[in-house]
Amino acid sequence: MQRSTARILTTHTGSLPRPAALVQMMEGHDQREARAHPGFMSQVQAAVAAVVRHQADVGIDVLTDGEMSKVAFSAYVTERVTGFDGPPRPPAPQIEPRLFPEYYQTLPPVSPGLRACNGPITWRGDAYVQQDIATLRAALQGVAPTEIFLPAVSPGQIWFNFSNDYYPTDEAYIYAVADALKHEYRAIVEAGFLLQIDSPELAMSWNRAEFAEQTFEDYRQFVARHIAAINYALEGIPPDRVRLHLCWGNGERPHVRDCPIAEIIDIIYTVHAEALSFEGANPRHAHEWKIFQDHPLPAGKLIIPGVIDSLTNVVEHPELVAERIVRYAELVGKENVIAGTDCGFSTGVRAQPRVHPTVAWAKLQALAEGAQLATQQLWGQAAPARPRIV
């Protein structure tokens, strides 16, 4: 994994705005239904080619395919593993709606949810992950990024999003998922790309109703079990080819039931991933840069703090972005920081995304400009030019 030796590198969390035609084809559909559309792959290939060039053009160093082929960052698994043909189930109950009932009553009705697991989970996704890899490779022609990554969902996030009607315990369910997804993880790394494990449940599960009467110590044990499942799925993969993303859910809501990262950061450090991606711009978490004073970053790891918010249509000023980057760099070392975003801009396909596509790209440009300003402050010189389109 590339580290900054002369400037602050930039990246993001994975999902980016999709073209309107692709949204229309995918929105409201299971991944298998979307792929069955006769124009699916041609639309995806065109979208990936465009989004790769757009990332390079605005100054993103470590880029990806924008998750163009996925109906959502976790829901794509229904085509790649067996076992998810049960009835749709609404999301598990959460605590925060009890605290702000008037606010939650103003929100649109809860969707029917994702299909439950109702049978044995086995891997069947070789063709699909190789298709993602080939599409991204083709889109990279003429583009010179510093590195490339592909996101993949964590075993625990499948537990979080998909009800289990088949396995006798949560542990059995999660490890069955891990046994399947390890094939995807290895394929991404063997293709020469960085693997990003998307594992929001590590932090956001504290809001689930089942933890209402639990303590942080109880929750730490839960997080440790989920990290163990990730490490099991990553066996044989070098940590320097892996980055872990955790967050508190990409939703504009009060977030008062978010687990403070300080309560679990020491356990997060045990993941077999060199880079840790997390929210740092969300107003509920922007102060948490201080955790690295009391919980120093272990040797060999680097951080990808979110210095751009992914929930509002406010474009951050580059000077604020630089200020956020410098704070982290002064605590963990400038060579151990890659500037990122809090979460994805289109974690699930929707015709009306929270952040308008034109604004999302303006935010990413502000990210790149802020990284240049931070480079000037940290190295005392202008950032060296980086080739974008060749």
For position 212, which CATH number holds?
Answer: 3.20.20.210
Could you tell me the end-to-end alpha-carbon distance of the chain, in angstroms, rounded to an integer? 22
Residue 127, SS3 per DSSP = helix
* Domain contains 66: yes
* Whether 155 contacts 233, CB under 8 Å: yes
Distance CA 325, CA 304 (A): 10
Q: Which residues contact 283 (CB under 8 A, 6 or more apart)?
A: none
* Domain contains 264: yes
Q: What is the pLDDT of residue 360?
A: 98
Q: How far is CA 347 from the centre of its chain?
A: 8
The count of domains in the chain is 1
Q: What is the pLDDT of residue 125?
A: 98
Distance CA 150, CA 255 (A): 28
List beta partners, residue 260: none
| Residue among 129, 178, 127 nearest 151 (CA) | 129
Token digits of residue 158: 């499948």
Token digits of residue 9: 């590198």
Look up tokens 């094939």; give the residue.
183
* Domain contains 248: yes
Distance CA 32, CA 188 (A): 21
Q: What is the pLDDT of residue 265?
A: 98
Residue 202, SS3 per DSSP = helix
Distance CA 110, CA 126 (A): 33
Give me the residues of the chain with pLDDT under 50, please.
387-390
Angle, CA 275 vertex, CA 271 and CA 281 arms, to 5°:
110
Q: Which residues contact 187 (CB under 8 A, 6 or more apart)?
A: 126, 129, 130, 133
Phi/psi-derived region of residue 255, left when phi > 0, alpha when psi is between -120 and 50, beta in every other case: left
Look up residue 14 and give its DSSP letter. Answer: S
Q: Give the other-Cβ count within 10 Å of 155's Cβ.
A: 27
Q: What is the pLDDT of residue 387?
A: 44
* Domain contains 385: no
Amino acid letter for position 227: I
* Domain contains 42: yes
| Residue among 226, 221, 99 nearest 159 (CA) | 226
* Domain contains 387: no
Look up tokens 């202008």; give the residue.
382
Q: What is the pLDDT of residue 390?
A: 35
Q: What is the pLDDT of residue 389?
A: 40
List beta partners, residue 94: 208
* Domain contains 389: no
Look up residue 356 and give its DSSP letter. Answer: -
Residue range of the domain that includes 131 = 9-379
* Domain contains 238: yes
Q: What is the pLDDT of residue 115?
A: 93
| Residue among 351, 308, 309 nearest 17 (CA) | 351
Distance CA 194, CA 3 (A): 13
Look up tokens 């998307």; give the residue.
198
